[in-house]
């Protein structure tokens, strides 16, 4: 009888020791595994959350990223004046509405592009291109129906071309600020495309011009 009790006690003791060792082994391995995983996750999150910020240094900015910011800046430098001209040189309420959309959308984009360019250390121009300035001069010298048609087609062609560029930049950039900027620019340009088309004044040759410009080379 005493021998049986001793054997049972020995078995219980061995089982308890085995269970304790197993638990200790699992407990020791889980923190080590999770600690490594969470540490990597924290580092990744930190990289994403501080990307492009001056306190921890910007992510790499490619030449395509820089060119994109410059183009957004230059677009605002001529399209905001064009939108203002629509208020004074047109008697068409739909054209005036499109002009107001240009003023509002590009004013917001211009503020954003100057902020992002400062963070990323990208220099921006203070003038539109010579071609864009030429378009503004054409609009200044036009009035009434002539202005309306010129406005709708110049702006629709310009927005159609930059719309394709925005998609390419958003698809390829590794920079979080550029991604954010491309998303905002995409929404703004899409709105402008629609209000310009709503004028009913965009010619078929304008669409063909854009098609030829954005077609794969």
pLDDT digits (tens, 9 = 90+) for 159-205: 999 998 999 999 999 999 999 999 999 999 999 999 999 999 999 99
The confidence band for 56, taking pLDDT boundaries of 50, 70 and 90, is low
157: left (phi over 0), alpha (psi -120 to 50) or beta: alpha
- Side-chain-facing half-sphere of 40: CA atoms under 13 Å: 5
Residue 119 near residue 52 (C-beta atoms within 8 A): yes
What pTM was computed for the model?
0.72
pLDDT tens per residue across span 85-134:
999 999 999 999 999 999 999 999 999 999 999 999 999 999 999 999 99
- Give yes or no for residue 50 having a pLDDT over 80: no
Quickly state the pLDDT bin for 71 (edges 50, 70, 90).
Answer: very high
């Amino acid at each position: 009888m005493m021998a049986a009790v001793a054997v049972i006690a020995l078995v219980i003791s061995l089982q308890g020791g085995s269970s304790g060792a197993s638990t200790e082994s699992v407990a020791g391995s889980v923190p080590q595994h999770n600690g490594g995983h969470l540490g990597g996750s924290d580092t990744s999150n930190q990289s994403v959350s501080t990307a492009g910020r001056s306190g921890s240094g910007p992510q790499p900015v490619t030449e395509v990223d820089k060119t994109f910011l410059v183009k957004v800046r230059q677009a605002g430098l001529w399209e905001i004046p064009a939108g203002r001209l629509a208020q004074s040189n047109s008697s068409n309420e739909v054209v005036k509405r499109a002009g107001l959309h240009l003023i509002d959308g590009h004013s917001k984009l211009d503020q954003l592009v100057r902020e992002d360019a400062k963070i990323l250390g990208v220099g921006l121009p203070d003038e539109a291109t010579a071609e864009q300035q030429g378009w503004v001069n054409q609009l200044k010298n036009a009035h009434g129906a002539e202005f309306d048609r010129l406005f709708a087609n110049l702006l629709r062609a310009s927005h159609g071309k930059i719309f394709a560029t925005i998609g390419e930049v958003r698809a390829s950039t590794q920079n979080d600020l550029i991604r954010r900027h491309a998303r905002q620019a995409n929404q703004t340009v899409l709105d402008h495309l629609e209000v310009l088309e709503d004028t009913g004044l965009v010619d078929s040759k304008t669409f063909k011009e854009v098609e030829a410009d954005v077609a794969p080379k």
